[in-house]
């Protein structure tokens, strides 16, 4: 019940914010001021700019490439994000927040004729051996984060495919380690968040705990921009993994076996991921 209410309020909040900001829908003032303040190294306004082309065309769902942002901005830190949100608000422009662009839905991390906030320049990461906490910015892929923390013999709970991004954890996040450690968002300890009014705040179990609660599963594109995640890291050793491929006429048996695994598996270190692939003709 609580989670349903939270979801409803998250949707209401974001549609309210987007609705209010959408009234004027002229992004040019925002793009001009963003370029003036951040400089051309952190803004792309031309559709022929290679960075613009890359930001626009790196969605997992290629249908989203059809949307043409008025400009793309590349914040380096929370202060940049704060300025960006204030400028967007002042201009009434539409906007979208994009991490690794794997959300498949229209306009969740894509925008037409608005400001696209591309977080991929924010790839800072660190590990604190004394607390075993891992801290990372939102712009890395899970694969990059895993490779980095592996150098400490540690990992973070995140996605199961290399290229997926950190937005995953704001929506919960199913991991191969979830049977053992819960969802990705369960590992959150402290989040740095830029609120829609530009304020930079901390969300944790002791600071802004209601915001912290909302961000653990209901947080993608809902309450603000998360500019830093501090999470509980986990030990990682050798994994045994493999792929099994079956042709489609077996699919009912595979579905049943997956269901049975989820229902009856008692080993918290075991996990399975089942998916359908359509093989195109060579």
Ligand X SMILES: *[C@@H]1O[C@H](CO)[C@@H](O)[C@H](O)[C@H]1NC(C)=O
256 binds ligand X (CB under 6 A): yes
- Cβ proximity to ligand FAD: between 32 and 121 the closer is 121
Smallest distance from ligand FAD to CB 129, Å = 26
Binding residue (CB under 6 A) for ligand X from 249, 252, 267, 281: 252
Element (H, E) at 83: helix 78-91
- Cβ proximity to ligand X: between 26 and 163 the closer is 26
Residue 252 binds which entry of ligand FAD, ligand X, none, CB below 5-8 Å type-dependent = ligand X
Query: What is the C-alpha to C-alpha distance for residues 169 and 174, in angstroms, rounded to an integer?
Result: 8
Smallest distance from ligand X to CB 251, Å = 9
33 binds ligand X (CB under 6 A): yes
- Three-class secondary structure assignment of 197-261: CCCEEEEECCCCHHHHHHHHHHCCCCCCEEEEEEEECEECCCCCCCCCCCCHHHHHHHHHHHHHH
Strand 133-136 to 125-128 pairing? antiparallel
For 119, the token pair is 């977080």
Contact range with ligand X by CB under 6 A, out of 6-14, 44-52, 150-158, 248-256: 248-256
29 binds ligand X (CB under 6 A): yes
In the chain, what is the greatest distance between 2 CA atoms, to the nearest angstrom? 59
Residue 159 binds which entry of ligand FAD, ligand X, none, CB below 5-8 Å type-dependent = ligand FAD
Binding to ligand FAD (CB under 6 A): which residues in 122-151?
138
Smallest distance from ligand FAD to CB 39, Å = 22
Binding residue (CB under 6 A) for ligand FAD from 108, 136, 148, 188: 108
41 secondary structure, DSSP code: G
Binding residue (CB under 6 A) for ligand X from 10, 21, 30, 134: 30
101 binds ligand FAD (CB under 6 A): yes
Query: What is the C-alpha to C-alpha distance for residues 188 and 144, in angstroms, rounded to an integer?
Result: 18
Smallest distance from ligand FAD to CB 125, Å = 14
> Across-strand partners of 225?
194
Binding to ligand FAD (CB under 6 A): which residues in 29-88?
60
Query: What is the C-alpha to C-alpha distance for residues 66 and 80, in angstroms, rounded to an integer?
Result: 27
- Cβ proximity of 192 and 202 under 8 Å: yes
Using only the alpha carbons of the chain, give its radius of gyration.
20
Query: What is the C-alpha to C-alpha distance for residues 159 and 172, in angstroms, rounded to an integer?
Result: 10
For 124, the token pair is 């800072």
Q: Between vectors from CA 132 to CA 129 and to CA 134, what angle results, nearest 5°?
A: 100
- Cβ proximity to ligand FAD: between 14 and 32 the closer is 14
Dihedrals phi, psi of 228, to nearest 5 degrees: -155, 135
Binding to ligand FAD (CB under 6 A): which residues in 154-173?
159-161, 164-168, 170-171, 173
- Enumerate residues 6+ apart whose C-beta is below 8 A from 19: none
Residues at the site binding ligand FAD, with contacts judged by CB under 6 A: 60, 96-103, 108-109, 119, 138, 159-161, 164-168, 170-171, 173-174, 220-221, 225-226
Q: Using CB under 6 A as the criterion, which residues of the chain lie in contact with ligand X when the complex forms?
A: 29-30, 33, 87, 90-91, 252-253, 256
């Amino acid at each position: 019940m609580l989670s349903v209410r939270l979801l409803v309020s998250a949707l209401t909040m974001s549609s309210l914010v987007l609705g209010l900001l959408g009234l004027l829908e002229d992004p040019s003032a925002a793009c001009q001021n963003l370029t003036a303040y951040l400089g051309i190294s952190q803004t792309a306004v031309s559709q022929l700019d290679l960075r613009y082309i890359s930001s626009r065309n790196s969605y997992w769902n290629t249908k989203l490439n059809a949307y043409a942002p008025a400009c793309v901005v590349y914040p380096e830190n929370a202060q940049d994000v704060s300025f960006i949100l204030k400028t967007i608000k002042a201009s009434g422009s539409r906007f979208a927040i994009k991490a690794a662009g794997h959300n498949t839905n229209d306009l969740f991390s894509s925008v037409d004729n608005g400001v696209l906030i591309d977080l991929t320049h924010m790839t800072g990461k660190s590990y604190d051996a004394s607390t075993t906490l891992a801290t990372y910015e939102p712009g890395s892929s899970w694969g990059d984060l895993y490779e980095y923390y592996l150098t400490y013999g540690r990992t973070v709970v995140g996605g199961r495919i290399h290229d997926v991004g950190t937005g995953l954890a704001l929506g919960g996040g199913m991991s191969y380690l979830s049977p053992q450690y819960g969802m990705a968002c369960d590992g959150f300890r402290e989040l740095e968040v830029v609120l829609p009014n530009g304020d930079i705040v901390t969300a944790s179990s002791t600071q802004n705990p209601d915001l912290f609660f909302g961000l653990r599963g209901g947080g993608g594109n809902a309450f603000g921009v998360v500019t830093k995640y501090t999470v509980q890291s986990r030990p990682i050793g050798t994994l045994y993994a493999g792929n099994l491929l079956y042709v489609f006429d077996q699919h009912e048996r595979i579905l049943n076996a997956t269901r049975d695994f989820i229902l009856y598996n008692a080993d918290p270190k075991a996990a399975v991921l089942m998916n359908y692939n359509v093989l195109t003709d060579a």
